[in-house]
């Protein structure tokens, strides 16, 4: 005798499963991270991230237009400069690769998509760290904050709608919010990487930005062993005025993502990082996984854990599958 309630009744057809689905993924919830390389004459493939390239200015504009056409919610820009220095001055330069890219994208798509810029120094420093170094070679938190304010102002002046504070410096949200407001940029949003872990899964990204990092970032990014710490970090960022808080990486930290989403009164983002992308692509290339099913399952899991928006290198592909 079967019980009166038979859950399998709600799984019988695709239409039935769609009707009762508890979690959905929509194209407007996806943000595409993109890299632009200074001086590139043609898009440069990134070997550790099959299908992802370092863009030229022209290919970046085309990609931004495509992102709008398929209905993505946002585009996150990262710069790959031709030269670097100890202070990351190229990030502040109005004519630097990232600020130029922001202007190009804004000229191409305007307000039709949310333009985000990575507000950090790691792409621009010759030591690869996210902040300025003191005489002992340690990241100087407070000195770095003043530079972050300059980075954010340069990006918003160029046309960024949202600045992405990814450096994990204490007090970064408050300092940047004050700087933006002081110049009248009250509508510029702040995406705070509140729980950014010192993960092994960033390797392909460092290839993509040609990182100069030697060593690690364990002294300022979060310890993968800690979850409660993420809640403290998120609470500080919220108190300082963050408009969106982020958990990064996504798939290995779904418990943290869920916990942050439970307490946040603003939108929560998750970054499906380069290592997560590359692992799936490697398995797909060997015929071990089906790309479409795997990607949509991972995105659904991130949404189910509590993310309101997801940064993913599959954003354009996923948008096509979700139509």
Q: How much of the chain, in percent, has pLDDT values that exceed 70?
A: 99
Q: How much of the chain, in percent, has pLDDT values that exceed 90?
A: 92
For the residues 41-46, what does the mean pLDDT come to? 97
131-145, pLDDT tens digit by residue?
999 999 999 999 999
| Cα torsion through 195, 197, 201, 202, rounded to 10 | 80
pLDDT of residue 198: 95
**Residue 148 — very low, low, confident or very high, per pLDDT cuts 50/70/90?**
very high
55-82, pLDDT tens digit by residue?
999 999 999 999 999 999 999 999 999 9
Q: Is 37 a catalytic residue?
A: no
Helix 315-322 to helix 291-305 angle (10° resolution) is 90
Dihedral sign for Cα atoms in the order 234, 202, 88, 105: negative
The answer to whether the peptide bond before residue 263 is cis (omega within 30 degrees of 0) is: no
Longest dimension (CA), the chain: 76
- Tell me the pLDDT of the chain averaged across its residues: 96
Catalytic residue among 55, 161, 196, 303: 196
- Which residues lie closer than 8 Å to 275 by C-beta, 6 or more apart? 199, 200, 201, 202, 203, 204, 205, 249
**Residue 24 — very low, low, confident or very high, per pLDDT cuts 50/70/90?**
very high
pLDDT of residue 246: 97
Q: What is the set of domains in the chain, with CATH numbers?
A: 24-322 (3.20.20.70)
pLDDT of residue 3: 59
Q: Is 248 a catalytic residue?
A: yes
108-130, pLDDT tens digit by residue?
999 999 999 999 999 999 998 99
Report how far residue 98's alpha carbon sits from residue 158's, in angstroms, rounded to the nearest whole number. Answer: 9
CA 234 → CA 104, 202, 269, distances in Å?
32, 21, 12
pLDDT of residue 19: 94
Catalytic residue among 244, 248, 261, 276: 248
166-205, pLDDT tens digit by residue?
999 999 999 999 999 999 999 999 999 999 999 999 999 8
Which of helix, strand or coil describes residue 52?
Answer: coil
Report how far residue 81's alpha carbon sits from residue 60's, in angstroms, rounded to the nearest whole number. Answer: 15
Q: Is the pLDDT of residue 211 over 90?
A: no
- Find out whether 156 and 180 touch, Cβ atoms under 8 Å: yes
């Amino acid at each position: 005798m079967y019980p009166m309630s038979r859950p399998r009744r709600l799984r019988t057809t695709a239409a039935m499963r769609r009707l009762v689905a508890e979690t959905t993924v929509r194209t407007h919830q996806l943000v595409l991270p993109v890299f632009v390389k200074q001086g590139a004459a043609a898009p440069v493939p990134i070997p550790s991230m099959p299908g992802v390239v370092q863009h030229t200015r022209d290919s970046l504009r085309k990609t931004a237009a495509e992102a709008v056409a398929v209905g993505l919610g946002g585009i996150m820009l990262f710069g790959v400069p031709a030269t670097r220095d100890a202070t990351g001055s190229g990030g502040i330069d109005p004519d630097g690769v990232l600020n130029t890219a922001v202007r190009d994208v804004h000229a191409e798509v305007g307000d039709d998509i949310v333009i985000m810029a990575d507000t950090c120094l790691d792409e621009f420093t010759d030591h690869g760290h996210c902040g300025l170094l003191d005489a002992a070679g340690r990241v100087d938190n407070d000195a770095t904050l003043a530079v972050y304010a300059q980075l954010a102002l340069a990006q918003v002046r160029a046309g960024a709608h949202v600045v992405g504070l990814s450096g994990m410096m204490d007090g970064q949200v408050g300092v940047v919010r004050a700087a933006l407001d002081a110049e009248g940029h009250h509508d510029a949003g702040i995406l705070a990487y509140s729980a950014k872990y010192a993960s092994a899964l960033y390797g392909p990204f460092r290839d993509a930005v040609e990182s100069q990092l030697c060593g690690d970032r364990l002294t300022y990014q979060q310890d993968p062993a800690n979850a409660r710490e993420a809640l403290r970090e998120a609470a500080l960022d919220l108190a300082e005025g963050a408009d969106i808080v982020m958990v990064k990486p996504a798939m290995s930290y779904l418990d943290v993502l869920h916990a942050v989403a439970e307490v946040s009164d603003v939108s929560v983002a998750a970054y499906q990082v380069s290592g997560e992308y590359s692992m799936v692509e490697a398995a797909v290339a060997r015929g071990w996984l089906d790309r479409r099913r795997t990607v949509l399952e991972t995105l659904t899991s991130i949404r189910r854990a509590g993310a309101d928006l997801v940064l993913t290198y599959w954003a354009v592909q996923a948008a096509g599958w979700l139509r």
